[in-house]
Amino acid sequence: MKKIDLYLIKEHLGPFLGGLFTFTILLLLNSIYQLMDLIIKKGVPVLIVLKVFLYSLPFILAMTVSMALLVSSLVAYGHLSQDFEIMAFKSLGISFKRTLKGPLFFAFFVFLFMCWFNDRILPESNHRLKNLLFSIHAKKPAARIEEGAFSKVGDYMIYTRKKNEKTGVLKDIKIIEKLPQKNGVRTIVAKKGFLRTVSDSMIVLVLWDGSIYESLGKKDEDFREIRFKKQVLNIEIDTKLAEKERTYRSEREMTIKMLLAAKKEKDKEIAKTDPRDTIRLRILKNIKNRYKIEIHKKISLPFAGIVFIVLGACIASITKKGGYGAAFGFSFIVFTVYYIFLIGGEELARRGYIPPFIAMWFANVFFGIISVYLLRRAE
């Protein structure tokens, strides 16, 4: 590698690290708010919240690395254009395309690292994060209940107007329970309640100052009312579901090897399914599509960084603007468009409207074509 390549890589390193730090912090702001909510309202220990933060970080980095490469290219080539270094290279017979050799080598190295990162680190962190959040909800049962909305806890639908996340105290409670008899429903209303965990499979809801309404027949007037000062509900939690939650991995918690194995299993199920069972076939194909989407995403998202290096270099050399403000602003626009293509394509591929390969690579191809066009203009 020649000195010019090392020089251009060095010009990219500073803006790359600065862009990576800035974008990561910006995307973490919402997570930080939620983490503070866990500490202050739900009373979750700081050490546990710190683990949630660390397990959330890889997902953010998977998004921000490509954005940072775009910023580094815009800033580096903007400065080179402003200082007439690009013109100096051309006067020495060094073409604009030749100057991209070093930065592309750097981007390719980042691409290889992020492919490994997305395949090894990201799935495991997603899996541990999901399990940790499940454990938090198990130990802090009040976290299961959303304020101002019905939440399913065991066999009950529970509504509360206001709750204290830290103490587990609920106010203005309404509980709906479906009874064994046909169309039977029991409704419990209470002014105040307290929710606590007594075991891994049982939580207790203590209610004060309320009434129980039970329907006794088909007619609206066939019901009975029972008033109480204190009522205790023992709510069983599905322990099988809890175990499944801790061992089961969704597609975002799988490595490429796991995804290929899962896809192979779905192919076998599809082959064994009766062709007349169209609903089951559609469900199986949608699940298989999710696996294929995740495989392509693990590679296409890091590859965007290589495309962005060329795109940023061309735009900066044409506009001759190398400031961080312009670089960050343009990066947000580009990545917003890229993310719309990515999310939109993913949703269409999940429903089977377009192949997963096209869904996950269309954005790269789109910006790649623009980069080639701008590269010719920059030359």
Nearest to 77 by CA among 16, 26, 18, 22: 16
pLDDT digits (tens, 9 = 90+) for 193-214: 887 766 656 778 889 999 988 8
**How many residues does this entry show for the chain?**
379
Nearest to 346 by CA among 215, 254, 230, 252: 252
| Tokens 């194995």 -> residue | 261
**Whole-angstrom distance, CA of residue 88 vs CA of residue 175:** 76
Segment (H or E) for 192: strand 185-199
Nearest to 60 by CA among 100, 118, 4: 118
Domain ranges in the chain? 3-138+281-378, 155-236
pLDDT digits (tens, 9 = 90+) for 6-52: 999 999 999 999 999 999 998 888 777 777 766 666 667 788 888 88
Strand partners, 193: 170, 207
Dihedrals phi, psi of 277, to nearest 5 degrees: -85, 75
pLDDT digits (tens, 9 = 90+) for 62-78: 999 999 999 999 999 99
| Tokens 């395309």 -> residue | 97
Burial (CB < 10 A; 0-12, 13-18, 19+), residue 182, is exposed
How far CA 125 is from CA of 46, 66, 134, 229, in Å, comes to 19, 20, 14, 47
**Whole-angstrom distance, CA of residue 139 vs CA of residue 228:** 28
pLDDT digits (tens, 9 = 90+) for 299-350: 999 999 999 999 999 999 988 877 788 899 899 899 999 999 999 999 999 8
pTM of the model: 0.76
pLDDT digits (tens, 9 = 90+) for 102-148: 999 999 999 999 999 999 999 999 998 888 877 776 665 556 677 78
**Whole-angstrom distance, CA of residue 65 vs CA of residue 57:** 12
**Whole-angstrom distance, CA of residue 37 vs CA of residue 40:** 5
Burial (CB < 10 A; 0-12, 13-18, 19+), residue 214, is middle
Dihedrals phi, psi of 155, to nearest 5 degrees: -95, 10
